[in-house]
Structure formats: structure tokens, C-alpha cells
Amino acid sequence: MIPQNVARDLVDDSLSYQDFLARHGSPGDIKNWTDVNESCSLSDEQADLLSSFSRQLHVVCIAGAWCGDCVRQGPILNHIASASDQINLLFIDRDALAEEFKATWTVCGGLRVPQVLFFNEDYQFLGHAGDRTITRYRKLARLALGDEAPINTSFDQSQKTVLEDWLEEFERIHLIARLSPRLRQKHAD
């Protein structure tokens, strides 16, 4: 899907959470991200799961510091990555992407953000997620469509649930890498 050399270049061109905000965020953007970051936390069980990861993951979040969905999700991604030595979380500004790369990563015809790309230690593509989690889409569907929204109505709309959505995605991606026959042979495990 994405050649390894392109993935490596994308990782190399991306920024840490703090550097991304410093370079691309206005003072108001930074405050918004900081407010969400300070309201977010992992449970001990969630932190234990993440600290048990044994495969390195390169995770690139295509984002905009100005983007409301990025504000709601970027700090959550940061908390998840901070709990594991195996997760290399990086951010790249949507507008800094090469045009041909932008054309590849459209969602429903638009370059929506945030989008998260997952790669293994060898920069092989593992998966893609975004622009919103199922929790967020359920909320938006309820707002737009009312009681006729075709959704699971027993959902929780909290930040905690969005964090759980992302945690499950990170766990899924890690298990893809952990169970890879090639990587199991490489690591003799």
C-alpha cells in the first residue's frame, strides 16, 4: 500500500506531539490541545496493556492544529503513546503533505483529519484509522439524524469512550505486528 521508503520518509518528516503544536499551533490551538490533554488519563489496566507491547510501532497522525477533531483525539493518542516505549507517535501537518500523498489519503472524497497511519519497525504498512472514531460518528449521527439515526443507541459519548476506541485500534495493530510470522521469526518469539 505504502512503499517502505515512502513510509520511512513520512516518519522522518513528521514531528513529535510538542514540536507539532509549537510549529503549527496558534496560542489558542495550543491551549485547546492542552486543555484536552489535561482532562485525559489512562486507567492502570490500560497503561499496563500498552506497556506490555513488544513490537515497535511507528504511528503517524496526519492532523491540523486548528482541527476540532484533532484537538479531541490528538491528546488521547499522545496519552496512549506515552504509556508504551514501543509506540513512536508522530504528527504531520495535513497541509505539509505532498499532493500525491494527499490524493491517496482521502476519506469520502476529502482529506479529512485526523488520520492515523500505522507502520511496523521495518516501515511496513499495518493499518489506517480516522478521521473520527465510532463514538464520535454515533454522536454526530444522532445530532444530524435524530432518533432515526442507524446507530447502536447504547453508546457512551464521553472522552473516555473515544480513548477506548483508540486503545482498541492500537491493540489490534500491535497484535497484527506481534503475530506476524515474519516478525516472530525475526525476533525468535
Using one digit for the tens of pLDDT, what is the confidence trace for 48-79?
Answer: 999 999 999 999 999 999 999 899 999 999 99
Residue 30: per-residue pLDDT? 97
Q: In sequence order, which residues have a C-beta less than 8 Å from that of residue 14 and are 6 or more positions away?
A: 20, 60, 90, 91, 92
The predicted pLDDT at position 111 comes to 75
User: Alpha carbon 46 to chain centroid distance?
Assistant: 16
**pLDDT reported for residue 139:** 78
Share of the chain above pLDDT 70, in %: 96
Contact 183, 56 (CB under 8 A): no
Residue 51 is part of a domain; what is its CATH number?
3.40.30.10
Structural domain count of the chain = 1
Q: Which domain covers residue 83, as residue numbers?
A: 4-187
The residue-averaged pLDDT of 119-139 equals: 87
